[in-house]
Amino acid sequence: MSSVILAMDQGTTSSRAILFDRAGSILGMSQQEFTQHFPDTDRVEHDAEEIWESQIGVARRVLADHGLTAADVAAIGITNQRETTLVWDRATGQPIAPAIVWQDRRTAAKCEQLRQAGHADVVQKKTGLLIDSYFCATKIDWLLENVPGARQRAEAGELAFGTIDSWLIWKLTGGRVHVTDVTNASRTMLMNIHTGIWDTELLKIFGVPTQMLPEIRPSSEVYGETEPELFGAAIKIGGAAGDQQSALFGQNCTQPGMAKNTYGTGCFALMNIGDQPRTSTCKLLTTMACQFADQPPSYALEGSIFIAGAIVQWLRDGLGIIDSADEIEALAASVPDNGGVYVVPALAGLGAPHWDAYARGTILGLTRGTTKAHIARAALEGIAFQVADVLDAMKQDADVPIAELRVDGGAAANNLLMQFQADILRVPVIRPKVIETTALGAAYLAGLSSGFWTGCDDIADVWQTDRVFEPTMNADEAARLRTRWSEALDRSRDWEQHGS
């Protein structure tokens, strides 16, 4: 009998393969970083073949390391960096160009034109998204415009578009299956989130031929089987979801009002809002949550923050005041408070809910008494303040209180950051035992469709608390700090000269 689920977690900087047993515990993990290409200041690209090689490599390695074969794997679940856009030739399987990564801003001017042409409202109503180069639509258009002959070939049905889930499923099935799951489709800016299908009006606005699109499927469903030679025998592919929606599910946030925040390079806060999409009035995104076959869709509000753990990397690599990310906690804890210092981590502008591409990183309140410890502490606080701003917007949009925040991601290991987050949010912050919730979500999706787990009750038992951070700071002090943060944020805004 199969004993494990194999989760493939294809992230922005690395590919990981994680084995989960029936108790939802991690049996083993293999990880490989891959190359980031920055061909220009506003461009970020990945080599799709390198993504594939690294992903299949870690999957094979983790099985071999544990003496397991294909017969031991009940199903594969896929979770992926979202929005990263790839177009390949259906006949040869060759990408026509490098994948354009979600962080790539080459289509910013095109997005500005589309907003000026008055498309913002219809796009937000249909997709829940704000027109931005973050999403796939303008990236596909860019490829069709800039790769010679691509538009004609796409119109002739010779080319396929996919996000990374589609690409991996295509490769795993030897080019037999061209699908995407609904959570990934909801990040393309081409799917109508009310109907769950590609939208003709949007395809026209963005100039994307329907012939190149994958079929949209639920997140938990058997899409097909792997080519036998990849693992020695075929394995079912039992589900896929974008990494943030996968983490929402992995955190068991299955009821409206339940929210999670992932503290990685950036932060992605998502809140389940149930079966009705809501258009945000606070500049949040409305997105699809994981969907099961034969069940109605459910939705989430999302706030994407571009720089979070990355500010810690900058303190390490840019300023050299720490040698490794985990050193920041002890340094920050060596002072009792921020000493009046505020760090606004707007190194790449501000994402939700402020959306200011021209904001820049700012350090305020320096005195002769300021030390690197104050800056370290203020940097961690800057992460938490941004998350609090997003959660305030969520409460307002969804009109429900947030009872607790579930957390994951690399920087969630930082106890000082988690305590400060609870203090300023005024709600408990809960860190689960399995911090790899993104992969766990994908494992759940595949485990449920393949019968490895029988129902959501099984998986509710799997989720367990590691630590709860209760708010302990006095409420007046928390309010005072947030007011000062807002003032610091105002000073960071609109700094970069427009057009530069």
Ligand X SMILES: O=P(O)(O)OC[C@H](O)CO
Ligand Y SMILES: Nc1ncnc2c1ncn2[C@@H]1O[C@H](COP(=O)(O)OP(=O)(O)O)[C@@H](O)[C@H]1O
Residues that bind ligand Y (CB under 6 A): 11, 13, 264-265, 309-310, 312-313, 325-326, 328-329, 409-411, 413-414
**How far apart are CB 341 and ligand Y at their closest, in Å?**
17
Instruction: Give the CB-nearest residue to ligand Y.
Output: 410
In the complex with ligand X, the residue whose CB is nearer, 130 or 481, is 130
Q: Pick one of ligand X, ligand Y, none as the site partner of residue 313 (Cβ within 5 to 8 A by kind).
A: ligand Y
**How far apart are CB 234 and ligand X at their closest, in Å?**
28
d(Cα 228, Cα 94) in Å, to the nearest integer?
21
In this chain, which of 264, 277, 349, 361 binds ligand X, going by CB under 6 A?
264
Containing H/E element for 491? helix 475-492
From residue 48 to residue 87, the character string flagging contacts with ligand X as x (rule: CB under 6 A) and all else as - is ---------------------------------xxx----
**How far apart are CB 54 and ligand Y at their closest, in Å?**
14
d(Cα 221, Cα 177) in Å, to the nearest integer?
13
**Contacts of 27 by beta carbon, 8 Å cutoff, 6+ apart:** 4, 19, 20, 21, 66
In the complex with ligand Y, the residue whose CB is nearer, 124 or 313, is 313
Residue 37 DSSP code:
B
In the complex with ligand X, the residue whose CB is nearer, 12 or 30, is 12
Q: Beta-carbon neighbour count of residue 39 at 10 Å?
A: 11
Spatial CA neighbour of 295 closest among 280, 272, 274: 274
Answer whether 168's CB lies under 8 Å from 214's CB: no
Q: Beta-carbon neighbour count of residue 226 at 10 Å?
A: 22
Q: Pick one of ligand X, ligand Y, none as the site partner of residue 386 (Cβ within 5 to 8 A by kind).
A: none
In this chain, which of 15, 127, 184, 265 binds ligand X, going by CB under 6 A?
265
Spatial CA neighbour of 319 closest among 288, 345, 340: 345
Residue 243 makes contact with ligand X by CB under 6 A: yes
Site for ligand X in 96-155 (CB under 6 A): 102
**414 annotated ligand binder:** yes
**How far apart are CB 344 and ligand Y at their closest, in Å?**
17
**How far apart are CB 46 and ligand Y at their closest, in Å?**
14
Q: Which amino acid is at 235?
A: I
Q: Pick one of ligand Y, ligand X, none as the site partner of residue 329 (Cβ within 5 to 8 A by kind).
A: ligand Y
Only segment of 163-171, 199-207, 238-246, 274-282 that touches ligand X (CB under 6 A): 238-246
* Radius of gyration, alpha carbons of the chain: 22
- Integer angstrom CA distances of residue 127 from 45, 166, 183: 25, 20, 12
**243 annotated ligand binder:** yes
Residue 413 DSSP code:
G
**How far apart are CB 111 and ligand X at their closest, in Å?**
16
Residue 180 makes contact with ligand X by CB under 6 A: no
d(Cα 149, Cα 152) in Å, to the nearest integer?
6
Phi, then psi, of 125 in degrees rounded to 5: -65, -40
Token pair, residue 328, equals 């920041």
Strands 215-217 and 179-181: parallel
End-to-end CA distance of the chain: 60
Site for ligand X in 4-43 (CB under 6 A): 11-12
**Contacts of 230 by beta carbon, 8 Å cutoff, 6+ apart:** 56, 172
In the complex with ligand X, the residue whose CB is nearer, 421 or 438, is 438
**12 annotated ligand binder:** yes
**313 annotated ligand binder:** yes
Please give the annotated binding residues for ADP, written as ranges.
12, 16, 265, 309, 410, 414
Residue ranges in contact with ligand X by CB under 6 A: 11-12, 81-83, 102, 242-244, 264-265
